[in-house]
Amino acid sequence: MEKFLSFEDIIIDKNIKLCPRKKLGSGTFGDIYLGKNTETNKEFAIKCESVNKTNKQSLLKYESDVLRYLQNGIGIPELYSYISKDKYNFMLFELLGPSLEDLFDLCHQKFSLKTILQLGDQMLSRIEFLHSRYIIHRDIKPNNFLIGLSNKKNLIYICDFGLSKLYRDPKSGKHISYNSGKSPIGTARYSSIYSQLGIEQSRRDDLESLFYTLIYFNNGLLPWQGIKTKSKTQKNEMILEKKINTNYNELCKDLPYEFIAFIHYIKDLKFEDKPNYLYLKELLGKVFDKNNFNYDLIFDYSYLLDKKDIIQEGLNKNKQNEDIIKKNENENDIIDNENEIHKNINR
């Protein structure tokens, strides 16, 4: 996205100012900044998109439509407004805390089993909610789950609906049809095998990505990370090959048997199948009980959240490293394309 030329606060609407100095994250379609209502002092997040002649259809508008459609769900960021002004579009929404990827880094790329199970339980609930509204997310990964602020710090939010899609027609209830030969979308590292093979995504693919996310939290990295190739296409091919050839026993070797049952169940789902979310939650719950964990919503990072300086310092450090990581790790890049992003959402 085109950078704001000035670092002075920008008034984008009557009482709404954007603080270019306070960047909260950089995304594929646009950056996210802190915003403030100058009258009430209320803070929020502003996702920005610069308008140019080539992107006639606004991805941000699409995302705000999806977010509006999902309002009032637990762990869904509140949408405040969508503003188009001059060469920019702005989406004003709930200010949240760090992403699970940020928190994972702060915990030196290792989460305890208890943290993974508590996160997994909430992440499953978010995915189940989306699916209950006929939406598939299609980019499930640690960066797209954020924690809330202050009294919502134990609540895991699901974010980033730019690639989401309706898998059913809300009126007729008809499921989208099976399709192959599609260009894969999402993030190669966490994408399902079917998605990387170009098969139309459905509910099962969100769950497979969730599984890779949980394994990443436990193992610190996935076997298909860090592959070096000349081109991005080659890299995606090698990631896919490694994913196909990775044995679940090996992937879950430090984890209880239930994780293997978890992925086997997901891999057995047919294209249109409704996943049994409760069964998956119960599998995680069994591990929880066997270990006598207490469901107290204390996570590995919880003690850090009380130490604002540590978290801010850690996040700043991560942001400084962001560009280097982005250059080196393009499997964490979004696989962009797909014109159909704009279709399919009924307001």
Residue 25 binds which entry of Mg ion, ligand ADP, none, CB below 5-8 Å type-dependent: ligand ADP
- 160 versus 331: smaller Cβ distance to ligand ADP: 160
Alpha helices, DSSP H, located in the chain: 59-69, 100-106, 113-132, 193-196, 203-219, 232-245, 248-251, 257-267, 277-290, 302-305, 308-328
Angle between helices 113-132 and 277-290 (to 10 degrees): 170
Two structure tokens written together for 308: 């604002």
Taking the C-alpha atoms of residue 7 and residue 29, their distance in angstroms, rounded to an integer, is 20
- 287 versus 345: smaller Cβ distance to Mg ion: 345
Counting Cα atoms < 13 Å in the Cβ hemisphere of 120 gives 34
Taking the C-alpha atoms of residue 38 and residue 164, their distance in angstroms, rounded to an integer, is 33
Site for Mg ion in 132-151 (CB under 5 A): 143-144
Query: Least distance in Å: CB of 144 to Mg ion?
Result: 5
93 binds ligand ADP (CB under 6 A): yes
75 binds ligand ADP (CB under 6 A): no
207 binds ligand ADP (CB under 6 A): no
Which position among 58, 64, 89, 99 is part of the footprint of ligand ADP (CB under 6 A)?
99
Exactly one of 139, 160, 205, 300 is catalytic; name it: 139
Residue 45 binds which entry of ligand ADP, Mg ion, none, CB below 5-8 Å type-dependent: ligand ADP
The three-state secondary structure class of 2 is coil
Taking the C-alpha atoms of residue 281 and residue 263, their distance in angstroms, rounded to an integer, is 12
Residue 24 binds which entry of ligand ADP, Mg ion, none, CB below 5-8 Å type-dependent: ligand ADP
Candidates 28-36, 172-180, 227-235, 304-312; binding stretch for ligand ADP (CB under 6 A) = 28-36
Taking the C-alpha atoms of residue 144 and residue 67, their distance in angstroms, rounded to an integer, is 14
Site for ligand ADP in 151-170 (CB under 6 A): 159-160, 162
DSSP characters over 261-298: HHHHHHHT--TTPPP-HHHHHHHHHHHHHHTT---S--
Query: Least distance in Å: CB of 34 to ligand ADP?
Result: 8
- 118 versus 187: smaller Cβ distance to Mg ion: 187
333 catalytic, yes or no? Answer: no
Candidates 143-151, 221-229, 236-244, 284-292; binding stretch for ligand ADP (CB under 6 A) = 143-151
Residue 16 binds which entry of Mg ion, ligand ADP, none, CB below 5-8 Å type-dependent: none
Query: Least distance in Å: CB of 332 to ligand ADP?
Result: 10
Which position among 67, 70, 92, 96 is part of the footprint of ligand ADP (CB under 6 A)?
96
Taking the C-alpha atoms of residue 140 and residue 195, their distance in angstroms, rounded to an integer, is 12
Which position among 63, 65, 160, 208 is part of the footprint of Mg ion (CB under 5 A)?
160
Pairing, β 10-13 against β 31-37: unpaired
Q: Which of 197, 191, 193, 188 is nearest to 244 (CA)?
A: 193
Task: Give me the residues that bind Mg ion (CB under 5 A), please.
Answer: 143-144, 160
Task: Give me the residues that bind ligand ADP (CB under 6 A), please.
Answer: 24-25, 27-29, 32, 45, 77, 93-96, 99, 143-144, 146, 159-160, 162
User: What amino acid positions are annotated as catalytic residues?
Assistant: 139
